Chains A and B, each alone.
Chain A
Amino acid sequence: GNSVTQMEGPVTLSEEAFLTINCTYTATGYPSLFWYVQYPGEGLQLLLKATKADDKGSNKGFEATYRKETTSFHLEKGSVQVSDSAVYFCALITGGGNKLTFGTGTQLKVEL
């Protein structure tokens, strides 16, 4: 079956620090990969996605590259802000399906 493994949180950083949140996956076939973000008290929002190997998804300064050889999709940002504090979820879909498989989420706290 499909599964997604994320690094455990919380991750606490100072403003302007570099962020990496690791994500690895196991999937049948060739999945599409996603990062979702959940701000306190809200639902999940799609942050970025990549649908094939070596694709790079990017949005709001965040990036992630689909690495088939290491089955990874690590999230990075060069300089985090306090407003980036949220929970980040890595997820995948296989084939043309609709069932998102989520990781457990990683809480990010950014302090001044």
Chain B
Amino acid sequence: DAGVIQSPRHEVTEMGQEVTLRCKPISGHDYLFWYRQTMMRGLELLIYFNNNVPIDDSGMPEDRFSAKMPNASFSTLKIQPSEPRDSAVYFCASSLRAGPNQPQHFGDGTRLSIL
């Protein structure tokens, strides 16, 4: 079975540009999560969706960040305008249902560098 697929794997862009990260969850999974990983702050949950609806976006750092899930098989995380402090690895994860007995399956991440 295909796992969570993220694209691109690497993105290098200049400050001020718009960045779009993409995620395809595992088919049939109802929950989708976006995380950010940095050396300073570790792994942080940014937002998660249930059945394409955003449930908790309290981790989104500021208005420059937005996430959408137009259908069950696709989600985007956008940063506009991007800043150097947004440089991080961004992970998408999905799970079948809610709760601790439903493990989250992670993609391989997008390594973002803002110059």
Contact = CB atoms under 8 A, between A and B. Distances in A.
Interface stretch (A9-17, A75-83, A95-103): A95-103
Q: Is the interface of A mostly helix, strand, loop or mixed?
A: loop
A51 B107 contact: no
Interface residues of A, number: 21
Interface string B77-111: 00000000000000101010011110110111100
B43 A102 contact: yes
B33 interface: yes
Interface residues of B, number: 22
Interface string A27-62: 000001010000001111110010100000000000
Interface of A: 32, 34, 41-46, 49, 51, 89, 93, 96-100, 102-105
Given A96-B98, A97-B98, A98-B31, A43 B42 contact: no
Contacts of A105: 42-43
Contacts of B108: 41-43
B2 to A, nearest CB: 13
A103 B42 contact: yes
B42 A102 contact: yes
